[in-house]
Structure 1
Amino acid sequence: MPPEKSPQSSVVYEQRVVIPNKHGEKLVGLLHQTSSKKLLILCHGFRATKDDSILVDLAAAVTREGINAFRFDFAGNGESEGEFQYGSYRKEADDLRSVVSYFSKQKYDIIALIGHSKGGNAVLLYASMYHDVPIIVNISARFALERGIDGRLGKNFMQKMKKDGYIDVSNKKGEFEYRVTKATLKDRLSTDTLLSSRAISKDCRVLTIHGSKDEIVPVEDARLFAANIPNHELRIIAGANHRYTGHEQELTSLVLGLIKSHHQTTLPLRPKL
């Protein structure tokens, strides 16, 4: 006879969900449904999509625990409507607000927002503005937003921006990928990570995970989040790069550990016999 299925291995249904943002753009996502009403929302990074392997792996892991997961494309990315923009930190936090509002109205209990890289910035910004989600997981987000720009735009990007008013970014094959305008560059440079970090409620548990060998965002950025967010836990994965290549299980287990510990502390107490 086959072994009986535990509640954690219950059937998971996948449903495509379309949610309008406040600009009328349709955000497309995939809901992994279990029998529970608890929900995690997963956010992708720069130039990525909801199908990023980090998000796919996390969605699979949490649904095995009987918790729903929703991964979606920010506007201008993947299947979602809108034009891709370089900065758009606040707009992505607004997109996330539309998603949270949608599922709240559907009577889901949103227990955590999880973001990788730029998606980490989105979930942290959200937490600084709205205080309605108890857990935030920031995976490899950048604290110092003034850094890392020249890696994409070139060393003399400010002179080029002043001269032309925009910078076109191409891939390694020389093919056009996206345009950076003065407005989108300003959006990035005017996003105050220090201020928003300090504005997160102490009732919100924030976990920052970062790889010690991250080649995109220096590990010291993770320590800056730790120094400025009121209720914060920092976990550095030794040897991990920005994508956690070869360290996927460590990443997943850290996220699950926090979710499960919160889940257990919020369960109703059983009366003593």
Structure 2
Amino acid sequence: MTTERVTFPGHDGQDLAARLDCPDGPLLGTVLFAHCFTCSKDIPAARRIAGRLAAMGLAVLRFDFTGLGHSDGEFANTTFTSNVDDVVCAAGYLANRDMAPGMLIGHSLGGAAVLRAAKHIDSVRAVTTIGAPFDPAHVTHNFKGALDTIAREGSAEVDLGGRPFRITRGFVEDVSAANLAPAIRDLNAALLVMHAPRDTQVGIDNAGEIFKAARHPKSFVTLDDADHLITKPRDAEYAAEVIAAWSGRYLDLRPPAPPPGAPEGIVRVSEADADGFLQDVNAGPEHHVLADEPEAYGGTNRGMSPYGFLSAGLGACTSMTIRMYARRKGWPLSHVHVDVCHDKMHAQDASGGEKIDGFIREIYLEGDLTDDQRQKLREIANKCPVHRTLERASKITTRLADQG
């Protein structure tokens, strides 16, 4: 993933700061991400979701609303309506770069904003909300006892997440007057509602109201025990993977043909989480898996270890080779599976306690096979290409499982 820092004019002409996360491979689509109330484009959930989507071929623009993060302007002069206008401005910026967004994602109040903004963005085919309120005025519960002061004096400073923000009467009146029901009903785009049942900031009943107001196609996915800010990496990655899979039904995400002369057979491995060891493994434009280390070794155990992939390569190649041979011979092999384990072992001829890599491979053959056929398939297993590659520097022990 490559990240470009960009700016574009917001609703009042002030520059808004943004990051455009682009895939390393083919660009399959563009997503516009709107962050939660008083947050920024750089909160962990936004970074992680953008990173996961970029790994799947989607460019993601995440920006700071006016007066927040690195964007210019005064937050005290903004309203819910101005946030909606900022979303439309961000979409216009992308359109001017021939990257008009096909999907909008909004987190919390940003979710309410994208629901309102969608009708003004012709390119949008799908909308996702994460922990969004059905009634934008829900955000005023964060102001606690300051509402009377705001109404009486026109503004007041409130503490939000340990930071002071000046909230004006105009903001309260604007957000209180917002009615999302008509916008949701007339969305004219597929809707994915994501919410956590244990969200203590925006209750899950909001998700129910949004879902009820929407017309089909619409989907609801629970985020289980995630918190409102989606702070756990596992929750953010789950959300991103669901969004990417769901959006494929509504966006044209077919990979374009590779350019002339492009090399084939490239496997690209890149960090998905710099705080741990999680890796994105992409084999061409269509195949994506995760690699990781167990928690005991500082990883998060969200994918196979590198040695797990090595063992998988040996097992897969073994099974395929056996199947090809049995098919060619017309033998009654109904099913094959291969168990592989890897370990370090002492070399028979090594001095000084030197160890080499060892693989133990158990082959399970099903079908009405003779003993001679079973033994021949065992021999064929040793001829699989990955076996030959590994055996040049590794010791591989192969045995047939006792199924008697």
TM-score (norm 1): 0.83
Give unpaired runs (5+ residues) of structure 2.
257-404
Q: What percentage of residue pairs aligned between the two structures are identical? A: 22
> Any residues of structure 2 matched to 1:133-144 within 5 Å, and which?
133-144=124-135
Distance, in Å, in 2 between the alignment partners of 1:159 and 1:30 is 38
Which protein has greater RCO, CA pairs closer than 8 Å, 6+ apart?
1
Aligned-residue offset at 1:131: 4.0
Distance, in Å, in 1 between the alignment partners of 2:252 and 2:29 is 13
Q: In the TM superposition, what whole-angstrom CA distance separates every residue of 1:161-213 from its partner, at most 9, and x where no partner exists?
A: 3433322213677x7x1222211110110111222222312xx1110100010
Two-structure CA RMSD over aligned residues (Å): 2.3
| Aligned counterpart for 2:79 among listed residues 79, 85, 88 | 88
Distance, in Å, in 2 between the alignment partners of 1:162 and 1:69 is 39
8 Å CA contact 2:100, 2:123 repeated in 1: no
> Any residues of structure 2 matched to 1:28-67 within 5 Å, and which?
28-34=17-23, 35-36=26-27, 38-67=29-58
For residues 87 and 235 of structure 1, do their structure 2 counterparts lie closer, same or farther at Cα, with a shift above 3 Å needed?
farther
1:93 partner SS: helix
> Alignment length, in residue pairs?
251
2:102 partner SS: strand
Distance, in Å, in 2 between the alignment partners of 1:108 and 1:143 is 29
Q: In the TM superposition, what whole-angstrom CA distance separates every residue of 1:67-121 from its partner, at most 9, and x where no partner exists?
A: 2111111111111111114862221111111111121121114221111111111
TM-score (norm 2): 0.58
Match of 1:153 in 2: 143
Aligned-residue offset at 1:245: 4.1
8 Å CA contact 2:140, 2:172 repeated in 1: no
8 Å CA contact 2:80, 2:171 repeated in 1: no
Which segment is superposed worse, 70-79 or 241-250?
241-250
Aligned-residue offset at 1:122: 1.4
1:185 partner SS: helix
> Any residues of structure 2 matched to 1:79-228 within 5 Å, and which?
79-85=70-76, 88-150=79-141, 152-155=142-145, 157-170=146-159, 177-201=164-188, 204-228=189-213
1:46 partner SS: coil
Match of 1:241 in 2: 227
Q: Who wins on radius of gyration, i.e. which is larger?
A: 2
For residues 189 and 256 of structure 1, do their structure 2 counterparts lie closer, same or farther at Cα, with a shift above 3 Å needed?
same
Match of 2:6 in 1: 17
Give unpaired runs (5+ residues) of structure 1.
1-11, 269-273
Distance, in Å, in 2 between the alignment partners of 1:66 and 1:171 is 35
Which segment is superposed worse, 106-115 or 136-145?
106-115
For residues 41 and 172 of structure 1, do their structure 2 counterparts lie closer, same or farther at Cα, with a shift above 3 Å needed?
closer
8 Å CA contact 2:49, 2:236 repeated in 1: no
